[in-house]
Amino acid sequence: MNLKIAVLAGDGIGPEIMEQGVAVCSAIAEKFGHEVSYKEALCGAHAIDEVGDPFPDETFQTCKQADAVLFASVGDPKFDNNPSAKVRPEQGLLAMRKKLGLYANIRPVETFDCLIHKSPLKDEIVRGADFICIRELTGGMYFGKKVEPTVNADGVEEALDTNYYTRPEVERILRVGYQYARARRKHLTVIDKANVLASSRLWRKVAQEIEKEYPDVTTDYMYVDNAAMRMIQDPKFFDVMVTENTFGDILTDEGSVITGSMGLLPSASTGSSTPVFEPIHGSWPQGRGLNIANPLAQILSVAMLYEYFGLNKEGALIREAVNASLDANVRTPEIQAEPCSEKYGTKEVGAWIVNYIRRA
Ligand code: IPM
Ligand code: MN
């Protein structure tokens, strides 16, 4: 297969983990006889500094012309506590999602046995948890009408975000949820706040209609507050969950941390144009340049990329190599088991995995 990949390394630890992701991608291509070419493009704080725009048009064109985007992370502390900054790196990410029509964000939450002790939950509660959150990514409050903080006619400061959804937006994401559920344990949980929010009542109405088309899948409905609770009490309850943009943002942070392995979780965003594959974690500016960032989420994002194109053996070999590196305790400092005779950084973990793939 020929694959053109747009490489958006972004900020913080992004470039370092991306280097390892690309190395693994190339090792797999070589092994299985694929032609992969890469084109780098600017995004995030980096792009603001260089061209004044966190998602420049040139980057958009590079993404549009590619078969897939491999993305690392964006964000820089100099923007974080400045609510009046005119442009911020996160806008680049949102622009990318909107312009590429990436309405479905697929976030698998799985545990790695050797890292269960890192979970804030008890072993017996979390061991074996394995679910996917399908988060709607181009609608809701993120993109609805906004009024930035402003003083109104009564002299009171006000602001507004609108949680707007249309039936087609809800329907297409629910169908993505059903497709994933069908390929897994056939259990879909629709998460909303239909007891309070009108937008959630639309979600529930549409879901109750289309669930009839998927009689092989068990559908249940859960309010988001209850889902947040259930996720820590009994994460094994879930198989596939589907929810709106803001709820999905919050629930997936919770999901990623209960596994104890946030640095290992990849994600995919798909829709009407080029799909994007990226780690769930952020840009960790404090870790930049120290060769300590965990490259595994980036490397597993490459596995998701190959699997998206139906190249399941390629994906499986990456997963096997990652598991082998963990078993061999070839791990970055935050997850390395003691005692250990050797220390490994971002580069060493990446190189070990590349080597494993070459020798397989
Ligand atoms: C995420 C992030 C983004 C979001 C931010 C960086 C805009 O938290 O991908 O979950 O809120 O969607
Ligand atoms: Mn988030």
Confidence at residue 245, expressed as pLDDT on a 0 to 100 scale: 98
Of the candidates 250, 282, 232, the residue with the CA atom closest to the CA atom of residue 90: 282
Pocket test for ligand 1, best of 11, 43, 90, 265 (most atoms within 8 A of CB): 90
2: CA distance to ligand 2 center in Å?
A: 32
Please check the confidence at residue 330 and state whether its pLDDT lies above 90. Answer: yes
Whether 225 sits among the annotated catalytic residues: the reply is yes
Confidence of residue 84 (pLDDT cuts 50, 70, 90): confident
Residue 244's SS3 state is: coil
Question: Which range among 140-144, 188-192, 234-238, 254-258 shows the weakest confidence by mean pLDDT?
Answer: 254-258
Q: What are phi and psi of 17, to 5 degrees?
A: -75, -30
For the chain, give percent helix, strand, coil, nearest 5: 50, 20, 30
Pocket of ligand 1 (CB under 6 A): 90, 93, 249
Least confident of 51-65, 73-87, 159-173: 73-87
193 is catalytic: yes
Ligand 1: centre distance to CA 249 (Å): 7
Is pLDDT larger for residue 337 or for residue 174? 174
Question: Using an 8 Å Cβ cutoff, are 165 and 140 in contact?
Answer: yes
Among the listed residues 113, 129, 120, 108, the one whose alpha carbon sits nearest the alpha carbon of residue 234: 129
Please measure the distance between the N-terminal and C-terminal CA atoms of the chain and give it in whole angstroms: 20
Q: How far is the CA of 303 from the centre of ligand 2 (A)?
A: 21
Q: Measure 86 CA to ligand 1 centroid, in angstroms.
A: 18
- Taken as a whole, the chain contains a residue count of 360
Which of 113, 123, 225, 234 is the catalytic position? 225
Q: How far is CA 136 from CA 118, 219, 342, in A?
A: 29, 18, 43
- Residue-wise pLDDT for 195-228, tens only, equals 999 999 999 999 999 999 999 999 999 999 999 9
Identify the pLDDT of residue 290: 97
Angle at 250 between CA 297 and CA 73, to 5 degrees: 35
Confidence of residue 242 (pLDDT cuts 50, 70, 90): very high
For the segment 224-247, the average pLDDT, to the nearest whole number, is 98
What is the average pLDDT across 15-36? 98
User: Which of 74, 69, 60, 88 has its CA nearest to residue 25?
Assistant: 69
Does 246 score more than 80 pLDDT?
Answer: yes
Ligand 1 atom, smallest distance to 94 CA: 7
- CA distances (Å), origin 173, targets 190, 210, 243: 11, 11, 8
Q: Per residue in 309-338, is it b (16+ CB within 10 Å) or e — as a string?
A: eebeebbebbeebbeebbeebbbbeebeee
Encode pLDDT of 145-190 as tens digits.
Answer: 999 999 999 999 999 999 999 999 999 999 999 999 999 999 999 9
Region for residue 86 given its phi and psi (left: phi exceeds 0; alpha: psi -120 to 50; beta: otherwise):
alpha
Give the pLDDT score at 81. Answer: 75
Q: What is the pLDDT of residue 340?
A: 79
Question: For residue 82, is pLDDT > 80?
Answer: no
What whole-number distance in Å separates Cα of residue 192 and Cα of residue 212?
19
Q: Does the active-site annotation cover 154?
A: no
User: Which pLDDT value is given to residue 342?
Assistant: 87
Query: Which residue out of 49, 67, 161, 253 is catalytically annotated?
Result: 253
Instruction: State yes or no: pLDDT of 278 exceeds 80.
Output: yes
69 CB-contact burial (10 Å; exposed 0-12 / middle 13-18 / buried 19+): buried
**Residue ID of nearest Cα to ligand 1 atom 2:** 249
The answer to whether the CB of 10 falls within 8 A of the CB of 44 is yes
253 is catalytic: yes
Q: Whose CA is nearest to atom 1 of ligand 1?
A: 249
**Gap between the Cα atoms of 360 and 351, Å rounded:** 14
CA distance 313 to 306: 9
Overall pTM surpassing 0.75 (yes/no): yes
Task: Give yes or no: 38 in active site.
Answer: no
Distance of CA 118 from the midpoint of ligand 1 (Å): 24
Catalytic pick among 98, 236, 249, 308: 249
